[in-house]
Amino acid sequence: MKIYINGEYFDKENAKISVFDHGFLYGNGVFEGLRAYNGKVFKLEEHIERLWDSAGSIALEIPITRKEMVDAINQTLKLNDIKEGYVRLIVTRGGGTLGLNPFECTNPQVIIIAAQLALYPKDLYEVGLDIVTASTMRMPPAALDPRIKSLNYLNSIMAKVEGLRAGCEEALLLNHKGEVAECTGDNIFILRNDELMTPPTDASILEGVTRNVVIAIAKKLGIVVKEIALTRHDIYVAQECFLTGTAAELIPVVSIDSRKIGTGKPGPVTKKLLEAFHLETQK
């Protein structure tokens, strides 16, 4: 495995950054997860745009141009001979002091890792996920805007711990209003009254690239899509439910908090959207 760090490639064992890097010390940095299909990154422009938006929001200047970033991503895929895989793109604040002052940091690190990935076992796409609602609340925008894809994922990790301890691969987070936000790493959709519903961007969610793709696909298929506030009740009584994310793609959810969703099996609309999504990735 060859890992890109600031214009150079290193073997996995030698890919290192300083212990004084604020990305390591404080989670001070941003990242993107990208998916490659047939050697080409899916929705690369959208991911690059979100990376630059996240960096701008935390006053982090990315030390290379967007074109240089794109070229580096493609070269990393090529060097690792990755046709179908995952790319982790990371920009740290750089080395600094043990204090919090980010403006004392120098030399931001740009890191690109390309590897194979299987987030969930294949059979879960056939039988669906069981999830639970976490007591951990989604970070409110007044604390840290969830649209920033930062290196500090402790909020999601604590919810993930709750899910795993309950025997579930995923957990649902509510926002500061008690409304449905998203899961630990994925956006959530439900089908109710034959309409597709998902929390809006002001519901303390990360505006997922895959989320937006699925919304566009659903509209092309003639499915009514509503971005509206949801509560757990809406999920409990939904016909179907699924999650979306770069790594997860689109995965069915068949129960939440020990309540069966719909028939308790992946529904026909979910299957239709997943099939259409896979076609979209091959374009």
Render each residue's pLDDT in the chain as its tens digit; 283 residues: 999 999 999 999 999 999 999 999 999 999 999 999 999 999 999 999 999 999 999 999 999 999 999 999 999 999 999 999 999 999 999 999 999 999 999 999 999 999 988 778 889 999 999 999 999 999 999 999 999 999 999 999 999 999 999 999 999 999 999 999 999 999 999 999 999 999 999 999 999 999 999 999 999 999 999 999 999 999 999 999 999 999 999 999 999 999 999 999 999 999 999 999 999 999 8
What's residue 283's pLDDT?
Answer: 85
Task: Give the separation between CA 132 and CA 257, rounded to whole angstroms.
Answer: 5
Task: Give the start-to-end residue ranges of the domains of the chain.
Answer: 2-115, 124-281
Strand pairing category for 8-11 and 40-41:
unpaired
For residue 194, the tally of other CB atoms under 10 A from its CB is 10
Name the fold adopted by 2-115.
D-amino Acid Aminotransferase; Chain A, domain 1 (3.30.470)
- Which of these, 230, 228, 186, lies nearest to 208 by C-alpha position? 186
The residues annotated with a catalytic role in the active site are 149
204: left (phi over 0), alpha (psi -120 to 50) or beta: left
Q: What is the pTM assigned to this prediction?
A: 0.95
Name the fold adopted by 124-281.
D-amino Acid Aminotransferase; Chain A, domain 2 (3.20.10)
- Which of these, 48, 104, 112, 100, lies nearest to 75 by C-alpha position? 112
- Mapping DSSP to helix (H, G, I), strand (E, B) and coil, where does residue 238 land? coil
Q: Which residue has the tokens 């790594």?
A: 247
Alpha-carbon distances, residue 137 vs 33, 81, 173, 204, 228 (angstroms): 23, 40, 6, 10, 19
